[in-house]
Amino acid sequence: MVTALKERTTMEATVPVQQINRQENILSINNLEIFYGENRAVNGISMEIEKNAVTALIGPSGCGKSTFLRSINRMNDLIPGAFAKGEIIYEGLNILAENINVVALRKEIGMVFQRPNPFPKSIYENITHALKFAGIKKKSQLDEIVEESLRKAALWDEVKDRLEKSAFSLSGGQQQRLCIARTIAMKPTVILLDEPSSALDPISNAKVEDLIVDLKKDYSIIIVTHNMQQASRISDKTAFFLNGDLIEYDHTEKIFTNPSVQKTEEYISGRFG
């Protein structure tokens, strides 16, 4: 009798928790392993990525954080010999499965790279490039999305008078915000950022950081960074990677003030890495 009740309460208790989880988490990673040929770069990690939050991935070079990030929109498919085991669940689907439409997936999970990589086209065309491919052809609609996404990327005022100019005429920081703008223009749900401000000067860096915090309202953001201050300033949760293992994953405040693993503390206090 007592045990039955216990079981009931646990069941009742778990059901709502799961529902809340489903609303709160955008991605759940289960036992993910990533290999480059024989080498294992990521050793079976499991974590939940919160919706409308900034999740920072930190760790020394070669710890597997970028590899992990690139597996979320299947960019590792481009690397010969790379393959992943385990699960990344997004909207009930394992996106690592063979039959996933990678092109459609990448529209929902966008990515911004370490080095600004605008297309050798005009500023306007940089944003419309993917939109046109997605079937939006009407000039008025394109204009609208270009303005909206440039505004969101805090670039509109700087470029509105020279949209037809080459994207290469922009500064590095502006180019990176343009890259963010063209990702936003696709209206993704998740944005992956791979050290987006490491190649930028401090002022551009600050702008990009402000932008990321701002974007949290509409998107779920995962950012790889080598900059501890950046992680602590902008992220809600932080994951610490070391040698392909997920060492610790918690609220950013907890990680930076009172980490529960010795290694994490050593890393964030700059004792290695």
Partner 1 sequence: MNSKTADRLATGVFITIAIMITAILAGLFFYIFVNGFKYISFDFLTTPSSNVRAGGGIRDQLFNSFYILLITMLITVPIGVGGGIYMAEYAKPGKITDLIRTCIEVLSSLPSIVIGMFGLLVFVNTTGWGYTILGGALALTVFNLPTMVRTTEDAIRAVPQDLKEASLALGITHWHTIKTVILPTAFPAILTGAILAAGRVFGEAAALLFTAGLSTPRLDYTNWNPFSEQSPLNIFRPAETLAVHIWSVNTQGLIPDVEAVSSGSAAVLVISVLIFNLAARWIGRIIHKRITATK
CB 241, CB 63: distance < 8 Å? yes
Q: Residue 174 or 252: which CB sits closer to partner 1?
A: 174
* Tokens (6 digits) for 207: 């702008």
Residue 252 binds partner 1 (CB under 8 A):
no
Residue 36 binds partner 1 (CB under 8 A):
no
Residue 78 binds partner 1 (CB under 8 A):
yes
Q: Which of 3, 164, 258, 272 binds partner 1 (CB under 8 A)?
A: 164
Q: Which of 103, 160, 201, 251 binds partner 1 (CB under 8 A)?
A: 103
* Closest C-alpha among 168, 172, 170, 122 to residue 146: 122
Q: Where are the alpha helices (DSSP H) in 25-167?
A: 65-72, 102-108, 123-133, 139-152, 156-159
Q: Which of 28, 36, 100, 129 binds partner 1 (CB under 8 A)?
A: 129
State the minimum distance, in angstroms, from the CB of residue 103 to partner 1.
Answer: 5
Residue 73 binds partner 1 (CB under 8 A):
yes
CA distance 190 to 107: 9
Straight-line distance from the first to the last Cα atom of the chain, in angstroms, rounded to the nearest whole number: 55
* Tokens (6 digits) for 226: 């080598």
Q: Coil, strand, or helix at residue 25?
A: strand
CB 43, CB 244: distance < 8 Å? yes
* Closest C-alpha among 243, 236, 234, 251 to residue 267: 243
Q: Residue 113 or 250: which CB sits closer to partner 1?
A: 113
Residue 151 binds partner 1 (CB under 8 A):
no
State the minimum distance, in angstroms, from the CB of residue 154 to partner 1.
Answer: 20
Q: Residue 63 or 131: which CB sits closer to partner 1?
A: 131
Residue 170 binds partner 1 (CB under 8 A):
no
- Please report, as ranges, the residues that interact with partner 1 according to CB under 8 A: 73, 75, 78, 80, 103-108, 110-111, 113, 115, 117-122, 125, 129-130, 133-134, 164-168, 179, 182-183, 186
